[in-house]
Amino acid sequence: MHWAFWTLAFLSVGLTLALGWALQRLYTLEAAVKTTAPGRGADFPEGWEKLDELLSMLLNLQEHGVSHSGAVSREDFAKAVLESACLLMKCQRGSVMLWDGKDDCLKIVAARSLDESHRSQKLFLKSGEGVAGKAFASAQAIFISDPQNDPRYVPGGAGAAEPFVSIPLLVKSKPIGVLNLHSTGDASPFIGYQTKFLNILAGEAAVMLHNQDLLDNLQIFYLEMVQTLARAVDSKDAYTHEHSDRARVKARRLATELQLPDQMARYVEYAALLHDIGKIGIDEAILLKPGKLTPEEYEVMKKHPIIGHQILAPVKYLGPVAQMVLYHQEWFNGQGYPEALKGEEIPLGSRIVAVIDAWDAMTSDRPYRKALGREVAISELRKGAGTQFDPRVVEAFLKLEHAEWSKEKSSSQTASAGGAH
């Protein structure tokens, strides 16, 4: 797992260094041309302007794809690539198609100013099919100057009569997709140095899109690992398994209700699933005791957040999750454990898990008591708001809980009415 993370990190750093070196060389070249050969520089004013645009776009894409890795979707990054390419080439129409290995075809993941009929016709392409499919299969850019008289072009939709180019997105000479751009002016922009600039942009974009896929695969791997850890808890305490599963679902909904960013919502979801992982290190005689714990036993039980943190912290990606697990037993007024944090000192994810943990504990049968009624549990949560729990989180949770309860009640009444007939 560490090798995958560090490989991705080195790729990102390497890309940054290579880009920095390229920028330095290109600007040095520009300065040299303008200084030693004024005539040549004067003949190439638009070229230097395009160069500046390209460099700015590469830096923006690099920041978008690397600095926000994990928070930016593949589709959103593809849109950023397309917008940059259209701006660089002064195009109004275009698309990015990426290879879907599962369906063995190219699929549009980003489009600009294509009408619905064109998008539907071109949504899927096999390798070698159409101009984009041929560019993908050959790993070579294809420029169509006269679409209406070119047998390689399949007409349809907006831009049918416009010159266009399909440039393969290559990673180590292997295509992962295609960038398609339509020339919307009287003169084609796909000539000379402009095409070279476009190829540079497409090449950098391909590497970043590939890294985005690596991140997606890495996150799937982490999720599978998290689920394996949850099953380890299940092996000791069947109640904990059901409790953790319920907590996970509620945590994701509550994080969304509180408008947390998607990545943070995912961390909260993992924390809810794993908040009791430290109970693996608690003696079963204490963990499964049917009666009230003695003060000494309670002190042992209080160690489970620390144990959970020790289990998760070595996994770099789960660092924020480990912090949420460590502090999920802290109280809003500073009377909790293990560090007696209070208020905003407690991570928001921990405050979310604390409310959900308490609710599920109150509304579920335990070895030592029956579940509390729904109204009693609501009253207890409200009593704890400001002391044990974050008031804002409590209100958001109860709002969601009421909506879910009303929906279930309505469904139950509808089912009963249907059965009566």
**Domain spans of the chain?**
2-214, 235-413
Quote the pTM value: 0.54
Q: Are 277 and 325 in contact (CB under 8 A)?
A: yes
For residue 300, give the amino acid letter: V
Q: Are 185 and 161 in contact (CB under 8 A)?
A: no
| pLDDT score, position 102 | 87
Q: Are 272 and 247 in contact (CB under 8 A)?
A: yes
| pLDDT score, position 397 | 96
pLDDT in tens, the chain (421 residues): 444 444 444 444 344 444 444 444 444 444 554 444 444 444 444 544 555 554 554 445 444 444 444 455 778 878 888 887 887 777 888 899 999 888 899 999 898 876 544 544 456 788 998 889 999 999 998 888 887 787 777 665 444 568 888 999 998 889 989 999 888 665 456 666 666 777 777 887 787 777 767 766 666 676 676 667 666 666 666 565 577 788 889 999 999 999 999 889 999 999 998 898 888 888 888 888 888 899 999 999 999 999 999 988 877 778 899 999 999 999 999 999 999 999 999 999 999 999 999 999 898 877 667 888 999 999 999 999 999 999 999 999 999 999 988 887 777 666 666 655 5
| pLDDT score, position 19 | 46
Architecture category of domain 235-413 in CATH? Orthogonal Bundle (1.10)
Fold type of domain 2-214: Beta-Lactamase (3.30.450)
How far apart, in whole angstroms, are the C-alpha atoms of residue 88 and residue 98? 21
Q: How far is CA 285 from CA 275, 289, 294, 305, in A?
A: 20, 6, 12, 18
